[in-house]
């Protein structure tokens, strides 16, 4: 009888010890999982910080200065042998998309391919953001007698040619939205050149069309005189 009692006590003690060990093991597992979670979160934050810090102020300024060599003081555009577009105030999404389009040959321009194809995602974003934050005065220079006609087309479109109002996508002040570019302050010669030669530069890869391909039927629906008028109007907007 006494032996059975001792055996029962030993069994109970062993069961209690087993439960304690299991509880400790469970707590250790929870703690280990928590430590791993913290480690992964920390690593994730570190990776994000690394991406953010991937472009130094020095490198960004150097790239900005390089771009301004062609795109003009404060990125407001430049009139040389041919018009080079204003980048100041441009939508960041649009700049990033177009730089990728140049790099991927979705938009054809040999000079811009050389500029963009080796640009890191971090530099691309930093550059687009920096130009977006600039807001110099427009260069102007377009024939002012065309402004009134251009304003009407911009705000109302040309219904009988199935050309919608430009303001529908580019905004009432022509400042753009997301991947729809800012037109305000853009060099009028540049706008004219792009719209009259749309298919020669855009949509070169049918399998990966540039998002701006939506403009193709609109560009084709405008006459050269209408394009000149719209370009004149938006070129004076700030």
C-alpha span between 228 and 154 (Å, rounded): 12
Residue 114 in contact with residue 190, Cβ under 8 Å? Answer: no
SS3 category, 222: coil
Boundary of a domain, candidates 19, 35, 53: 53
C-alpha span between 184 and 173 (Å, rounded): 7
For the whole model, what pTM was predicted?
0.75
At 76, list the tokens: 């407001």
pLDDT for the residue 21: 40
- 162-181: average pLDDT: 95
Given a cut of 90, whether residue 48 has pLDDT beyond it is no
Do 26 and 106 lie in one domain? The reply is: no
Do 39 and 157 lie in one domain? The reply is: no
- 138-164: average pLDDT: 96
* Model confidence band, residue 204 (pLDDT cutoffs 50, 70, 90): low
Boundary of a domain, candidates 38, 53, 68: 53
pLDDT for the residue 173: 97
Boundary of a domain, candidates 53, 72, 89: 53
At 66, list the tokens: 């390089």
Q: Looking at the 3D structure of the chain, how many domains does it have?
A: 2
Which segment of 49-63, 129-143, 146-160 scores lowest on mean pLDDT?
49-63
Given a cut of 70, whether residue 158 has pLDDT beyond it is yes
Spatial CA neighbour of 187 closest among 152, 151, 237: 237
Do 130 and 225 lie in one domain? The reply is: yes
Residues 64-82 have pLDDT tens digits of 999 999 999 999 999 988 9
Q: At what angle do helices 121-132 and 92-103 cross, to 10 degrees?
A: 140
Given a cut of 50, whether residue 35 has pLDDT beyond it is no
Residue given tokens 């305000």 in the structure block: 184
pLDDT for the residue 45: 42
Residue 44 neighbours by CB distance under 10 Å: 10
- 166-183: average pLDDT: 96
C-alpha span between 155 and 152 (Å, rounded): 5
Average pLDDT along the chain: 82
Do 121 and 231 lie in one domain? The reply is: yes
**What φ, ψ does residue 93 adopt, rounded to 5°?**
-60, -40
* Model confidence band, residue 137 (pLDDT cutoffs 50, 70, 90): very high
Residue 26 CB-half CA count within 13 A: 6
Do 183 and 104 lie in one domain? The reply is: yes
Do 114 and 151 lie in one domain? The reply is: yes
Do 26 and 115 lie in one domain? The reply is: no
Given a cut of 70, whether residue 5 has pLDDT beyond it is no
Do 118 and 86 lie in one domain? The reply is: yes
Do 122 and 20 lie in one domain? The reply is: no
Task: For residue 75, give the CATH number of its domain.
Answer: 1.10.760.10
Spatial CA neighbour of 67 closest among 52, 51, 86: 86
pLDDT for the residue 23: 43
- 205-234: average pLDDT: 88
Residue 182 in contact with residue 90, Cβ under 8 Å? Answer: yes
* Model confidence band, residue 7 (pLDDT cutoffs 50, 70, 90): low
Do 28 and 71 lie in one domain? The reply is: no
Query: 132: Cβ–Cβ under 8 A, 6 or more apart, which residues?
Result: 89, 90, 91, 92, 95
C-alpha span between 229 and 221 (Å, rounded): 14
Query: 11: Cβ–Cβ under 8 A, 6 or more apart, which residues?
Result: none
Highest mean pLDDT among 48-52, 101-105, 206-210: 101-105
Residue 190 in contact with residue 83, Cβ under 8 Å? Answer: yes
Dihedral sign computed on CA atoms, order 59, 103, 52, 90: positive
Do 80 and 35 lie in one domain? The reply is: no
Q: Which domain holds residue 113?
A: 57-235
pLDDT for the residue 200: 80
Given a cut of 70, whether residue 107 has pLDDT beyond it is yes
Query: 201: Cβ–Cβ under 8 A, 6 or more apart, which residues?
Result: 107, 108, 109, 194
Do 113 and 88 lie in one domain? The reply is: yes
**What φ, ψ does residue 50 adopt, rounded to 5°?**
-65, -40
């Amino acid at each position: 009888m006494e032996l059975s009692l001792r055996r029962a006590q030993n069994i109970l003690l062993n069961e209690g010890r087993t439960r304690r060990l299991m509880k400790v093991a469970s707590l250790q597992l929870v703690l280990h999982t928590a430590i791993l979670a913290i480690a992964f979160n920390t690593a994730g934050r570190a990776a994000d910080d690394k991406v953010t810090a991937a472009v130094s102020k020095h490198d960004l300024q150097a790239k900005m200065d390089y771009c301004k060599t062609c795109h003009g003081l404060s990125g407001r555009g430049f009139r040389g042998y041919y018009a080079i577009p204003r980048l100041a105030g441009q939508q960041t999404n649009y700049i990033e998309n177009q730089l990728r389009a140049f790099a991927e040959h979705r938009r054809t321009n040999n000079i811009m391919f050389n500029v963009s194809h080796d640009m890191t995602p971090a530099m691309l974003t930093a550059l687009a953001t920096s130009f977006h934050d600039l807001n110099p005065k427009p260069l102007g220079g377009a024939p002012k007698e065309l402004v009134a006609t251009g304003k009407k087309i911009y705000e109302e479109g040309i219904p009988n040619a199935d050309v919608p109002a430009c303001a529908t996508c580019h905004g009432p002040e022509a400042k753009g939205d997301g991947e729809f570019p800012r037109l305000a302050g853009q060099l009028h010669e540049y706008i004219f050149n792009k719209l009259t030669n749309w298919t020669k530069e855009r949509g070169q890869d049918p399998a990966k069309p540039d998002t701006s391909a939506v403009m193709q039927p609109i560009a084709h629906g405008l006459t050269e005189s209408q394009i000149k008028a719209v370009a004149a109007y938006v070129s004076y907007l700030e």
